[in-house]
Every structure is written in C-alpha cells, then in structure tokens.
C-alpha cells in the first residue's frame, strides 16, 4: 500500500471526528477509502456521508445496488472493491451467475428487467460515457427519475472509491487472491 493509514490516536481533531462518525454509522467501521480521504477532512466527511446514503438509503434492494457497484468495480479492475462487494452482492441475493459474468466481462442473462437496465446503464456510463436516448427512456420508465439518479450516483461514487483504492494500492486481506485479471 502506498499510504500509511493513521490510527485514531494519530488523527487530528477533524480527522478523528469523521472517523468516529463513520464508526457510529450503519457501517460500524470506516470504509477503507475514507482512510485515504482523511488527508482532506472535508472531502472525507462529505464523501463518506454520500457513500452511506448510496449504500443504505437508495430506492433499490441491496442486490440491485450491488449490481451497479460490481459493474463499476470491474470496469476499474478495482481488486479490493470487487472483493468487498462480491460478498455483499451475494448476501443481498444477486445471482452468482450474474457476478461471474461481470467478472469475466460477459453480458449476464437477466430475468429481472430492472437488473438488466441497471447493468446496461452502468456499462454505458463507463464505456460510452453517457446514455443513448432509448436507454435513457427505458431506464426512466423502469427505474423512475429517482432510480436513474441513484444508479448514476452509485456509478460515480464507486468510481471515486475504485480510483482511490487503485491509486493507493489497497491490498486484499491476508490470504485473499483477486478474482480479477
């Protein structure tokens, strides 16, 4: 890892307040990229709060949020992000075959039209840098305006997370090996 992570005792008061807020949140612990973001306490505060909203308070069940996150993690080949969110996706009920297809850069087969459009939106945002009019129309019809905004937010936020984890070379836990080539 390229970054020396601060222990709570090494943090200045602003950093410690953000750390403590994260520990007291639904997460129960600071998200790994926040430890890098603490170099900019205001950024860490706002990014961590946005992340909590996107993780826990969207209009989607966990499987659908995790779908967008995994597409993003795979796009960035974010080893740590994939490792963490694959487990969350499985726990949230996302079909293992869908996860495997995303890992292998194949288009998954979807029975749920919402899941398919979330996948299509996430892929299009990352690869085409936008949405075609037909995809936009389908997404707003199936997900609603709020849902589309939340999927765009998930992709954008987890792009920042993936970039942070990759730039600082956050390692996987001891004994874990990345599934991403």
pLDDT of residue 3: 86
Q: What is the mean pLDDT of residues 7-24?
A: 93
Q: H or E stretch including 141? A: helix 133-167
pLDDT of residue 156: 98
Distance separating alpha carbons of residues 55 and 29, to the nearest angstrom? 14
pLDDT of residue 181: 80
CB 85 within 8 A of CB 69: yes
Distance separating alpha carbons of residues 69 and 63, to the nearest angstrom? 10
- Indicate whether 34 belongs to any domain: yes
Same domain, yes or no: 81 and 129: yes
Share of the chain above pLDDT 90, in %: 88
CATH of the domain at 161: 1.20.1290.10
- Indicate whether 154 belongs to any domain: yes
Residues near 30 by beta carbon (within 8 Å), at least 6 away in sequence: 19, 22, 23, 48
Same domain, yes or no: 66 and 153: yes
Structural domain span for residue 35: 8-56
CB 130 within 8 A of CB 136: no
Same domain, yes or no: 84 and 140: yes
Same domain, yes or no: 20 and 104: no
- Indicate whether 15 belongs to any domain: yes
| Confidence bin at 4 (pLDDT 50/70/90) | confident
Tokens matching residue 52: 């909590």
Q: Give the other-Cβ count within 10 Å of 181's Cβ.
A: 7
- Indicate whether 3 belongs to any domain: no
- Indicate whether 179 belongs to any domain: no
- Indicate whether 172 belongs to any domain: no
Same domain, yes or no: 81 and 147: yes
Tokens matching residue 74: 């795979």
Same domain, yes or no: 66 and 118: yes
How many separate domains does the chain show?
A: 2
Rounded to 5 degrees, what angle do the CA atoms 146, 152, 153 make?
A: 85
Same domain, yes or no: 138 and 97: yes
**Residue carrying the six token digits 């994260």:** 22
pLDDT of residue 51: 93
Same domain, yes or no: 70 and 135: yes
Same domain, yes or no: 45 and 97: no
Q: Closest Cα to residue 95, out of 74, 125, 64? A: 64
Tokens matching residue 140: 């707003």
Same domain, yes or no: 35 and 83: no
Same domain, yes or no: 126 and 91: yes
| Confidence bin at 104 (pLDDT 50/70/90) | very high
Same domain, yes or no: 102 and 122: yes
CB 61 within 8 A of CB 93: yes
């Amino acid at each position: 890892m390229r970054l020396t992570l601060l222990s709570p005792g090494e943090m200045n008061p602003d950093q410690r307040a953000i750390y403590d807020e994260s520990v007291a949140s639904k997460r129960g612990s600071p998200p790994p990229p926040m430890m890098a973001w603490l170099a900019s306490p205001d950024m860490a505060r706002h990014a961590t709060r946005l992340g909590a909203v996107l993780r826990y308070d969207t209009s989607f069940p966990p499987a659908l949020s995790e779908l967008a996150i995994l597409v993003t993690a795979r796009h960035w080949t974010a080893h740590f992000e994939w490792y963490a969110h694959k487990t969350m996706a499985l726990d949230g009920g996302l079909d293992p075959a869908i996860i495997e297809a995303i890992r292998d850069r194949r288009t998954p087969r979807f029975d749920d039209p919402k899941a398919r459009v979330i996948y299509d939106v996430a892929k299009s945002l990352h690869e085409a840098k936008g949405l075609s009019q037909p995809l936009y129309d389908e997404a707003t019809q199936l997900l609603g305006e709020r849902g589309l905004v939340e999927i765009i937010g998930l992709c954008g936020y987890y792009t920042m997370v993936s970039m942070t984890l990759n730039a600082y070379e956050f390692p996987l836990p001891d004994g874990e090996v990345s599934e991403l080539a």
